[in-house]
Amino acid sequence: MTTPRDHLSELSTEEKASLTSGKDFWTLKAIDRIGVPSIMVTDGPHGLRKQAAESDHLGLGNSVPATCFPPASGLGSSFDPALAERVGVALGVESAIEDVAVILGPGINIKRSPLCGRNFEYVSEDPIVSGVIGAGLVKGIQSQGVGSSLKHFAANNQEFERMTASSDVDPRPLREIYLRGFERVVKDAQPWTVMCSYNKINGVYASQDPWLLTQVLRDEWGFDGLVVSDWGAVNDRVAALVAGLDLEMPGGDGAPDRAVALAADSDPAVASALDASAGRVLDLVGLAQARPAVAGPLDVEAHHALAREVAGRSIVLLRNEPVEGASLLPLAPSATVALIGEFARTPRYQGGGSSHINPTRVDSALDALTAELGDRVAFAPGFAFDPAAPGQDALRDEAVALAASRDVAVVFLGLTDAEESEGFDREHIDLAAHQLALLDAVVAANPRTVVVLSNGAVVALPFADRVPAILEAWLLGQAGGSATVDVLLGAVNPSGRLAETIPHRIEDTPAFGNFPGSNGHVRYGEGILVGYRWYDARDIAVTFPFGHGLSYSAFSYGAVSAVVAASGDIEVTVPVTNTGSRDGREVVQVYVAPVASAVERAPRELKAFASVEIAAGATADVVLTVRREDLAYWDIRVDRFVVEGGAYRIEVGASSRDLRGSAVVEVAGDTVVVPLTPESTLAAVFAHPVAGPMIASTFAAIQAQLGEGDGVLSGEAMEKMMGSFPIGRLPSFGWGLDRAGVDQLIAAANAPQG
């Protein structure tokens, strides 16, 4: 049986070039004479956004109804890759029914700053969480014969000037933070496509960066799929092709195709790159053709039920303090409830921009709670979304009166599409002043108040110590209203955890002062200290830490044990007991750091986690694996990941600042021999296995020459002082080595050994 790639040699240069750009906004070009059909790609990532009619020039037409699952800000809080995989399966099914070859997602860019307008579409501030959840989604999608598109590759962490700005980031944070999640997904799940980002990285457009698209993605990570541009991301089509970009989207006027064909006819390097890219496009078509036709129809109710389950698992119970001896949540069976806030009636369940889904239905918390409680619940909007709308005082007064008349007030607050969306960044992390004023008045009228947040990215919570119960409900997709009520009433025991830190104020955040940059550049000055790493290293107080989340149950941890397996991975075991009266889930988190390090390291880094269901009164022996490669830091001296040898502290707990037990293991280090240069210090030379013994006698002679006179250092002090002295400068002082001797020493040290 022939495949589309088998026809590659039959194509003209012009036909090959035509394959490397889109036919229109969502489809690829066909070549009818050899039976290569056009295939469709379309937006995700938390639902299918397929245009209902023929593509318009902006790709913004109405889309077919599809299930809107919780965006990544919610799903990431589940800390559950198996749940993400189930969502991926559903996305794959809906795409297959609509004959979509590739759904564009997931997005796993790091949440560098809470101000990024697209944070709702990303998973976490941590690369391990982002990579593990992202891999689950990709596996699920592709299990249905539909491709995924891992995006946005790479260092795309803001919307301001996103198509032109340069993300100026040093090698260590680039590798350890911003690329590590992508590496995990590529190696674990092999997405069919990877989407390059708009921005430049250290001055080079991602779309035409051979280091990023070929050296790292293909040569180092083994990616064998297709690289597609973000829509409109290509600056120089020929340079992009040679760099490793296979497909430019959307389709254009044909001029870039002609430029590629012309360059290929005159330049063998371009011709070779064109053959490779055209072949990968044909491979993608072949993968799409291999999927059996799926007739449907979509099981709308089953997918809505899954969306509701996932939404319930995404909600984070931030606070649940007792009032008059009992916690407010779950709501007492006989409680009368004042439901307040326009978000309860008009839910904001997804973010704005290219990921906007046309849902099959939408549940509101007002409808869901009314269905459960009947006339024991009454509603007041409390505010209008637009703070400039008239009548805000009257709406607030009505809500306060209602709150005073009921046992409990449940107040929905949040952000609107005008405040966070693809295309622009937020200017602050505060909730609207008129919403905060409403809450203050409600709490004064009824201290028994619960806050439910509807937001795609974290917001400041100045009321955190004054409101007894707070739910971080994110943007929860089309079933979020019902799922929120499930948690409020206790039908679902909350198990979500924060995949991003909630700071007290924007000034405390790692990128403050460097975000969003100026004059076309944004400096990643915080280095590797992103998210919780920053707050822990700087000992900065936060409102709620990374990994935090409460339950209606309680969990105790036993003694932690950790052993290094033959593979080099660390196997961590901890017994966890549900000491509460309800079945529940605990997200067990493993943080790791070397006891001592030669380079800057965060105090602890998340390296493994598991969402574990534990029955009331039961104990589960939770086993987690810390991969050896995740212990490594990027060593800029040898330009590769290196595992330091020595003792590592393994800390296990319920958040980055709620650590319940620890163990220490000894890890064998990687052998690192750093090439010597004239700028290498004497300390580096002494430590070198070849050069060290060779120069020992020279150093002894230097000590003897300097002698023991007044004011002259000797012994250990002299060794420290001389340790930072470049070996290439020794000849200037006449200290035992002339320039030829230095050259001979360096040559011997750098010669192949063995």
Residues with catalytic function? 230
Quote the CA–CA distance of 184 and 129 in Å, as a whole number. Answer: 10
Quote the CA–CA distance of 225 and 186 in Å, as a whole number. Answer: 10
Query: Strand ranges (DSSP E) for 250-365?
Result: 316-320, 322-323, 326-327, 337-340
Quote the CA–CA distance of 257 and 272 in Å, as a whole number. Answer: 15
DSSP 383: S
The amino acid at 250 = P
Q: Let me know: does 363 contact 481? Beta carbons within 8 Å.
A: yes
Alpha-helical runs (H) found in 80-204: 81-97, 127-142, 171-173, 180-189
SS (H, E, C) 385-407: CCCCCCCHHHHHHHHHHHHHCCC
């960044």: which residue's tokens? Answer: 425
The amino acid at 558 = G
Please give the structure tokens belonging to residue 79.
């800390």
Quote the CA–CA distance of 436 and 416 in Å, as a whole number. Answer: 14
Q: Is the peptide bond before 171 cis (omega within 30 degrees of 0)?
A: no
Which residues face 51 on adjacent strands? Answer: 63
């004064």: which residue's tokens? Answer: 444
DSSP 30: P
Q: Let me know: does 688 contact 673? Beta carbons within 8 Å.
A: yes
Give, for 566, the enclosing helix (H) or strand (E).
Answer: none
Quote the CA–CA distance of 417 and 423 in Å, as a whole number. Answer: 11
Quote the CA–CA distance of 653 and 299 in Å, as a whole number. Answer: 39
Q: How far is CA 694 from CA 209, 540, 726, in A?
A: 42, 48, 16
Quote the CA–CA distance of 674 and 27 in Å, as a whole number. Answer: 49
Q: What is the number of residues in the chain?
A: 754
